[in-house]
Amino acid sequence: MIDPTDKAILSLRLGELYAEANAYFKRNFPLPELTYRRSGRHAGTAFLQQNRINLNPVLLVHNRDAFIQDVLPHEVSHLLVYQLFGRVKPHGKEWQSVMRDVFHCAPETRHDFDLAPLNLRTAEYRCDCGPVALSIRRHNAVMRGQKQYKCRQCKQLLKPSNAVTP
């Protein structure tokens, strides 16, 4: 459960980010709704057409400062880019520019939070780098022959090792 104080801090931070964006772009953007629902392994998700940001409450509790400093500006940047440019690449040059120039944040596209608190079921796969955990959704797609996945480091095709975590 998220502490009401943390919700208030995030709401204030959201207001600060929008004040920075309003000043930078010399226009007023509508404040988005903030919601707190589990969303797999995603720290946050921007719902562009709804002008809403969802934050993963489990990851938030364990990574509060990173959410304030990195995750919230990341998701706000998605909303701003959509309002400024329409549909563009999610982490393209427009998004990167907003992250760097408006919020002075590194335009990182992935988090490295510990996912253990999420208690996600995974299937173990292997490559030359070692074991790789795939979500059950991805594992099922592999088993149905619909998808194949490659290691991000060695680019080798991942092979199932037949181990599923509870």
**Domains observed in the chain:** 4-102 (3.30.2010.10), 121-164 (no CATH)
- Contact assessment for residue 71 and residue 6, using Cβ atoms and an 8 Å cutoff: no
Point out the residues that are catalytic.
75
Looking at residue 121, its pLDDT comes to 76
pTM of the model: 0.76
pLDDT band at 152 (very low <50, low <70, confident <90, very high): confident
- The mean per-residue pLDDT over the stretch 29-37 comes to 96
Backbone dihedral angles phi then psi of residue 22, each to the nearest 5 degrees: -60, -45
Backbone dihedral angles phi then psi of residue 49, each to the nearest 5 degrees: -75, -20
Q: How far, rounded to the nearest angstrom, does the alpha carbon of residue 110 sit from its chain's CA centroid? A: 6
pLDDT band at 123 (very low <50, low <70, confident <90, very high): confident
135: tokens are 């979500």
Longest dimension (CA), the chain: 55
